């Protein structure tokens, strides 16, 4: 009888969530104009917390879709900016599109607070996900494909936060997010926090870090 390693078991179980992830693709494509749907399925991938949540039978708050084509991102921005109002809600321009709420920010185009097309970070799954903050989020999925891992497979079954030490941006934002993950039942060690502080010390504060600190009440 074959001895299954923890990694092999995680890979096997990840096959069971592909249908749910494909349903998320179908869900957002029902909102998008038909002229974009085929291209979206070709160039988009889901990454982040939704994969971890599905794997662990947790409620999925929203889906983050990233794109590997800068021209498609530009097309989405040009198309949907006509549907948002001048009125800002937080850092977002809001509006309606075919009975769906839409929010346009410098980071994403969001629909019904359920689906987000990320417009700030563009690239292949490896390029984008390798810059994610925590290892349990470092997985991606393309339509009709398999879940891809960019950290360790056992991160999917771990409720402890492990910092991605290769990440070099928005360290302040990462630290500010720790309470949110604690509220979700995650734990974090002093060692992992020290890794974040060391990385922040190495990189210093950039303009985005200062913006986060100056607007702390919004985080």
| CA 47/CA 143 separation, integer angstroms | 12
| CA 91/CA 218 separation, integer angstroms | 10
| CA 16/CA 27 separation, integer angstroms | 19
Q: How confident is the model at residue 144 (pLDDT cuts 50, 70, 90)?
A: very high
Q: How confident is the model at residue 207 (pLDDT cuts 50, 70, 90)?
A: confident
| DSSP per residue, 164-207 | -TT--S-HHHHHHHHHHHHHTT-B--HHHHHHHHHHHHHH---H
Query: Checking DSSP bridges between strand 63-67 and strand 44-47, what pairing results, if any?
Result: antiparallel
Domain residue spans of the chain: 6-158, 161-219
For residues 86 and 109, is the Cβ–Cβ distance under 8 A?
Answer: no
Among all chains, which residue has been given the structure tokens 């096959």? 15
Low-confidence winner among 76-85, 174-183, 187-196 (lowest mean pLDDT): 174-183
Q: Give the CATH number of domain 6-158.
A: 3.30.460
Give the residue-averaged pLDDT of 164-180. 83
Distance of CA 22 to the CA centre of its chain: 16
| CA 110/CA 78 separation, integer angstroms | 15
Among all chains, which residue has been given the structure tokens 């891809």? 148
Q: Is residue 25 pLDDT above 90, yes or no? A: yes
Low-confidence winner among 14-18, 26-30, 78-82, 180-184 (lowest mean pLDDT): 14-18
């Amino acid at each position: 009888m074959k001895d299954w390693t923890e990694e092999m078991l995680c890979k096997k179980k990840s096959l069971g969530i592909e249908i749910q992830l494909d349903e998320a693709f179908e869900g957002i494509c029902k909102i998008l104009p038909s002229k974009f749907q085929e291209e979206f399925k070709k160039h988009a991938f889901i990454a982040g917390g939704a994969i971890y949540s599905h794997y662990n039978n947790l409620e999925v708050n929203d889906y983050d879709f990233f794109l590997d084509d800068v021209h498609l991102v530009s097309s989405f921005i040009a198309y949907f900016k006509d549907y948002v109002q001048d009125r800002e809600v937080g850092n977002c321009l809001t509006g309606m599109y075919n009975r769906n709420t839409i929010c346009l920010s410098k980071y994403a185009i969001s629909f019904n607070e359920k689906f987000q097309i990320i417009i700030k970070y563009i690239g292949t799954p490896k390029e984008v996900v390798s810059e994610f903050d925590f290892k349990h989020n470092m997985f991606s999925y393309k339509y009709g494909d398999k879940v891809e891992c960019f950290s360790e497979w056992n991160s999917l079954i771990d409720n402890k936060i492990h910092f991605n030490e290769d990440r070099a941006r928005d360290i302040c934002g990462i630290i500010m997010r720790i309470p949110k993950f604690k509220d979700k039942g995650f734990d974090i060690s002093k060692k992992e926090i020290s890794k974040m502080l060391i990385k922040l010390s190495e990189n210093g504060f950039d303009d985005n870090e200062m913006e986060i600190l100056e607007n702390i009440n919004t985080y």
